[in-house]
Amino acid sequence: MGEVIVVTSGKGGVGKTTTTANLGTALAQSGSRVCLVDADIGLRNLDVVLGLENRIVYDLVDVVEGFCRLRQALIRDKRLEGLSLLPAAQTKDKTAVTPEQMKGLTDELRQEFDFILVDSPAGIEQGFKNAIAGADRALIVATPEVASVRDADRIIGLLEAAEIPPARLIVNRLRPQMVRKGDMMSVDDIVDILAIDLIGVVPEDEQIVVTTNRGEPAALIQGSRAGEAYRNIARRIKGEEVPFIDLEETSGFLGRLRRMFGQA
């Protein structure tokens, strides 16, 4: 039986879709059978980020309304054998689906996949309620900004109320240099405020812009800092203990010296 994981944040633009695409890619790369579900009905993006837009025939709403079978709507990734996408409808809105229908859908997907990653829309309304309806656990994406952290806190409270087990946190778009100068919240600050466990930190990486526009997840690219971070998160999702990359690592002679003495 597969596991349903919702990727959510409250605030828009913090990287839910990019995270979903990259984690799905990394999980599939490591041999898992993965289905990505785009729950952002009316504003679908996940297909674009994965470069699969041109393959869409049926979508999530077609399945729910019985126009097609689930199998017909699933799109196989062009690069990875184990990765599939259930696209959102673009011409409908969030009210086209109910939480009960979403739960039925994810339960059906559990039979065939190891991981079902649900990309949640921003906000706390119907679309969010749909996205979390069938979830076993949640990943919260937050950027080091006060507004993003505040919204994440709100979402964590709503997930608790929905009796979904404690969510884990992904800090996205961290800029270590700014943190060092004291111009950006640190990972510790964010974890301190939200009081939930961290599952990964993704550094700001220009390559993400390039890869998302091209429809090729960064997780596929060796040497991409963000890609490496996503691959590590995927391993942690599977229960592996992976040490955190020290993004705030001090460089230069003094830094090396400190590291030698185990202080950095």
Partner 1 sequence: MTTVSHAVWNSSTEGGDRDALYLRRTLRSGQRVDHDGNVVVFGDVHAGAEIVAAGDVLVFGHLRGVVHAGAAGAETARVCAWRLEPVQLRIARMIARSPDRGDEPSVAPEVARIEGGQVVIERADRADDGRVPRG
Cβ atoms of residues 101 and 109 within 8 Å: no
Binding track over 123-142 against partner 1, x by CB under 8 A: -x------------------
Residue among 151 and 216 whose Cβ is closer to partner 1: 151
- The helix (H) or strand (E) run that includes residue 142 is strand 137-142
Among 105, 133, 138, 156, binds partner 1 (CB under 8 A): 156
Interface with partner 1, residue 151, by CB under 8 A: yes
Interface with partner 1, residue 157, by CB under 8 A: yes
Interface with partner 1, residue 158, by CB under 8 A: yes
Say how far apart CA 136 and CA 225 lie, in whole Å. Answer: 29
Residue among 120 and 224 whose Cβ is closer to partner 1: 120
Stretch that binds partner 1, among 68-76, 153-161, 169-177, 208-216 (CB under 8 A): 153-161
Reading the block at residue 96, the tokens are: 């086209």
Interface with partner 1, residue 12, by CB under 8 A: no
Interface with partner 1, residue 160, by CB under 8 A: yes
DSSP classification of residue 221:
S
Among 162, 191, 193, 220, binds partner 1 (CB under 8 A): 193
**248 class by beta-carbon count within 10 Å (0-12 exposed, 13-18 middle, 19+ buried):** middle
The one-letter amino acid at 263: Q
Q: Which of 99, 109, 83 is nearest to 41 (CA)?
A: 99
